[in-house]
Amino acid sequence: MSWTGSRVYFLLAFVGSMSAMGTAWYLEYGVGLKPCALSLTQRCFMLAFSLLCLAAAVHGPGRIGVRRYSAGGVALAVAGAAAASRQLWLQIHGTVAPEACKPGLKYLLQTQPLPDAARMLVWGSPECARVNFKLLGMSVAEWSLLAFSVMAVFAIVQWLLSYRRGD
């Protein structure tokens, strides 16, 4: 059986996830919103998912390959959803670490050890608790969580479909 179907699905997932990345870049450079540490973390997972889908579309893997790419996609989508959930939690509760202000991420990466910078990326910063933009009543963190959920469902469906296809 031809694995053209999985190539098309992975290509569609690549286009969808890159559309989400394009929206994030538009909000940063077109609208002027500055991403917080958790937003940057989410972008990393989104970009990694996009590249994984592009690799799968180009590669055209067999059944086992589809399962491996799908497992990687689920892992990236769940990690991105965790970062979006953390940002959403911060926005709902409005509290972060006791510091009133932390330096920007670029400055932090240049002056602090990598573990401290990574901790900030995982736990967030005060600017992660602010809601600067809403679309249809949902914050960017909520849209990100929705996008990562769709990506996880896509990857799970691809994995399940690999059992229905023959070699």
Letter for the amino acid at 150? Answer: V
pLDDT band with cut points at 50, 70 and 90 for residue 76:
very high
Alpha-carbon span 158 to 90, nearest angstrom: 33
Alpha-carbon span 124 to 32, nearest angstrom: 20
Token pair, residue 94, equals 């409005």
The C-alpha angle 60, 11, 150, rounded to 5 degrees, equals 120
Domain boundaries, the chain: 4-164
- pLDDT > 50? residue 98: no
Lowest mean pLDDT among 36-45, 46-55, 98-107, 142-151: 98-107
- pLDDT > 90? residue 8: no
Contacts of 121 (CB under 8 A, 6+ apart): 37, 38, 40, 41, 105
Token pair, residue 149, equals 């959920």
- Tell which CATH classification among 1.10.10.10, 3.90.1150.10, 1.20.1550.10, 1.10.357.10 matches the domain 4-164: 1.20.1550.10
Tell me the percentage of the chain whose pLDDT exceeds 90. Answer: 7
